[in-house]
Amino acid sequence: MTATTKNRMGFIGRAFAVLGAANAAAAAVEGHRRPNARDLRTLGIDPATFPDIRRG
């Protein structure tokens, strides 16, 4: 594989990870649950500050 192909595959994998994390976090919030810390980190949100963001 060339470097360009590897970069594309990495981008596509990352995009799917972000979409999956966003879907899981949204479902948790809609269900009045706290999202998984791993999903929040994938989205670039610090899990420790998430409760403060929701109240804001």
Q: How many structural domains does the chain have? A: 1
pTM of the model: 0.76
Q: Which domain holds residue 13?
A: 3-55
Query: Residue 2: pLDDT above 80?
Result: no
Q: Is the pLDDT at 45 greater than 60, yes or no?
A: yes
* CA 35 – CA 22 distance, rounded (Å): 10
What is the spatial distance between Cα 15 and Cα 12, in angstroms, rounded to a whole number? 5
Quick one: how far is CA 20 from the chain centroid?
7
CB contact at 8 A, 53 and 45 = yes
Neighbours of 49 (CB within 10 A): 10
What is the tens place of the pLDDT at every residue in 12-36? Answer: 999 999 999 999 999 999 998 999 9
pLDDT of residue 47: 94
pLDDT at 38 over 90: yes
Mean pLDDT of the chain: 88
Please tell me the distance from the alpha carbon of residue 41 to that of residue 18, in angstroms, as a whole number: 10
